[in-house]
Structure 1
């Protein structure tokens, strides 16, 4: 592996701060969050703005937001990622059937990234967005994706790491998480009850590529006021059907690879 270039790393650190902000940042905020010298931050912001990765906010002097170049790169990435486009289409079809919020997510280390989302048609719905990251162990999609990993890879991702809680119902014990993953493998779906959001329950099913490898998960999220054991069984069947449909679009035609 080649040597990392410090200047490039710092520039990317600056850009990634905007993923966690409300959309704009000032130079002092970047300085404080990254613990970099003010001169270095000024040079980084000036360079990124000159290349259109950042732009200044006209009505807020001294503040920056992401520029058109980041949109162009993201659009090109999305064009090449069939999973996101196909996932959005299937999620829409599932949501039209059940009237609930449907997500498609992938796994990145110990977090899930939502790459597609279709909102519920009900007045009470969950607040989420495509592109958002959440701890995998707190979500149904994350449990399912972790459960699909080879044992050695799973160990490498969870052993010795703290399992942070998002709600009072989140799993924070490694043994309890492993039990949940075993249950997900046996059942073929994963469930979470109020673990990432105290007002939401969720069921997820695996999405496979042409080789049979689990590459994503499709979930249906429901406010607890509309959740019951009967509803869980119904939504589990719908999630499996949607995940199978998406798997077929990716070239999977049965079997577990």
Structure 2
């Protein structure tokens, strides 16, 4: 019954609930009365007979949110994605203009990307970092880049020109997916997708890293779709219900 209030404008009457759940009217009346008495539902003062979720539902949701651990949830989703593609999967967050890996699951292949949770890299050299930079409000991105100054290179493929980076970030915003080819490691390509929290804010990114010996143009869309699905799964675990900003 409570899940019904997640739909539409979030308000329902007892007859609405009866119709949607196909329950007896007396049963619905008793349940609504009990939920309202315990503040899970509250009646609308200007619309007698209609209800919305009450403060008790918010308190439960807040307690659940407090118990969420992005790193732990990210590790679980990364494991599921890695089992599907057998490549290295990372979850990372943004700090200033760097990314910090908070979860990582290795490929089982003998040749794989070498990294570790807790490692810090320049955001503009990685797919997760570019995804996170692309998700920043323009004014915040401009301020961070101004404070950072020169963009350092990790390989000869790294973007060091601010205008080129802005162009790359615009493309990422349009696609909703970030890629990098040998920009942080001369032997690796990566693809990343954004992770949203319950408010729709991008709080992390999930990437799949593949050695160039296993990377192909035909495989890239498949990996991008898998990264997007993994990021969506993690977003769902964090309470995201679609949309974003």
Say yes or no: TM over 0.5.
Answer: yes
Q: Distance in 1 between matches of 2:166 and 2:141?
A: 10
What are the Cα deviations for residues 186-206 of structure 1, in whole angstroms up to 9, with x where unaligned?
000100000000000000000
Q: Does 1:103 align with 2:85?
A: no
Runs of 4+ in 1 over 4 A off after TM superposition: none
Q: Distance in 1 between matches of 2:160 and 2:75?
A: 31
- Please name the residue that 1:148 is paired with: 135
Written as runs of structure 1 = structure 2, the 5 A alignment for 1:1-257 is: 82-159=69-146, 161-257=149-245
Q: Distance in 2 between matches of 1:187 and 1:159?
A: 26
TM-score by length of 1: 0.68
Q: Distance in 2 between matches of 1:125 and 1:80?
A: 33
What are the Cα deviations for residues 112-158 of structure 1, in whole angstroms up to 9, with x where unaligned?
00000000111100110000000000000000000000000000111
What are the Cα deviations for residues 7-56 of structure 1, in whole angstroms up to 9, with x where unaligned?
xxxxxxxxxxxxxxxxxxxxxxxxxxxxxxxxxxxxxxxxxxxxxxxxxx
Matched position secondary structure for 1:202 = strand
Long gaps (5+) in structure 2: 1-65
What are the Cα deviations for residues 204-246 of structure 1, in whole angstroms up to 9, with x where unaligned?
0000000000000000000011111111100000000000000
Q: Distance in 2 between matches of 1:129 and 1:93?
A: 18
2:188–2:209 contact (8 Å) kept in structure 1: yes
Matched position secondary structure for 1:159 = helix
| RMSD over equivalenced CA pairs, Å | 1.2
More displaced, 159-168 or 202-211?
159-168
Shift of 1:81: 6.3
Q: Distance in 1 between matches of 2:228 and 2:72?
A: 19
Shift of 1:159: 2.7
Matched position secondary structure for 1:122 = coil
Q: Distance in 2 between matches of 1:167 and 1:245?
A: 32
Q: Distance in 1 between matches of 2:67 and 2:214?
A: 37
2:78–2:230 contact (8 Å) kept in structure 1: yes
2:127–2:178 contact (8 Å) kept in structure 1: yes
Q: Distance in 2 between matches of 1:194 and 1:213?
A: 29
Matched position secondary structure for 2:193 = strand
- Please name the residue that 1:46 is paired with: none
Count the aligned residue pairs: 179
